[in-house]
Chain A
Amino acid sequence: MRRKKGFSILLQIVCWAFSLIVLVPFVLILLNSLKPSAEAAFFSMSLPSEFKWDNYVNAFVKGHVLRGYYNSLVMSSASAIIGVVFAALASFIIVRSTNFTNKVLYGYFFFGVVATGNMVTTTMIMSKLHLMNSITGAILLLATQGISFAMLLFTGFIKGIPRELDEAAVMDGAKAETLFFRIIFPLLKPVTVTGIMLNFLGAWNGFETQLYILTDSKKWGAILSMYGVYGEFSSPWSKDWGLISAYIVLTIIPVLIVYLIGQKYIIEGMTAGAVKG
Chain B
Amino acid sequence: MKTNTFIHKTLYPRRMVFPAFILYTILFMIPTVMGIYYAFTNWNIYSDAIHFNGLDNFKVLFIDQSFKYVRPITNTVVFAFFTSVLEAVIGLSLAIMLNRKIFSRNTLRSVFFMPQAISTIVIGIIFTTILHPTGLLNNFLDLIGLDFLQQNWLTNTATAMPSVIAVEVWRYFGLNMVIFLAGLQGIDQSYYEAARIDGANSWNLFVKITIPFIMPAVTINTVLNIVHGFRAFDIVYALTNGGPGNATEVIATMVYREYSAGNYGLSNAMNLILLIMTTVISVLVNRATSKREVTL
Contacts and interface: CB of A to CB of B under 8 A. Distances in A.
Main secondary structure of the interface of A (DSSP, over half): helix
Contact of A166 (B11, B112, B256): B11
B121 A223 contact: yes
A201 B114 CA distance: 12
B240 interface: no
A19 B111 CA distance: 7
B47 to A, nearest CB: 15
Given A28-B136, A116-B275, A267-B113, A121 B179 contact: no
Interface in A37-52: 41-45
B86 to A, nearest CB: 13
Given A207-B120, A223-B121, A271-B182, A105 B26 contact: no
A29 B126 contact: yes
A248 to B, nearest CB: 6
A42 B252 CA distance: 32
Contacts of A180: 16
A232 interface: no
Contacts of A230: 125
B271 A28 contact: no
Interface in B221-246: 223-224, 227, 230-231, 233-234
Interface stretch (B66-74, B94-102, B201-209): B94-102
B48 to A, nearest CB: 16
Contacts of A89: 16-17, 19-20
Interface of A: 8, 11-12, 14-16, 18-19, 21-26, 28-29, 32, 41-45, 82, 85-87, 89-90, 92-94, 96-97, 101-102, 105, 108-109, 111-122, 124-126, 129, 140-141, 143-145, 147-148, 151, 166-167, 169-170, 176-177, 179-180, 201, 204-205, 207-208, 223, 226-227, 230, 241, 244, 248, 251-252, 255-256, 258-260, 263, 266-268, 270-272, 274-275, 277
Given A11-B102, A25-B127, A117-B31, 15 more contacts: A11-B100, A44-B136, A85-B19, A101-B14, A114-B223, A117-B28, A176-B10, A251-B119, A256-B114, A256-B118, A267-B110, A268-B182, A271-B182, A272-B182, A274-B179
30 contacts: A15-B98, A15-B108, A21-B170, A22-B170, A24-B136, A87-B20, A92-B16, A93-B12, A108-B29, A114-B227, A114-B279, A116-B231, A116-B252, A116-B275, A117-B31, A118-B275, A119-B259, A120-B268, A121-B30, A122-B27, A170-B10, A201-B117, A208-B234, A244-B125, A252-B119, A256-B114, A259-B114, A263-B110, A266-B117, A271-B181
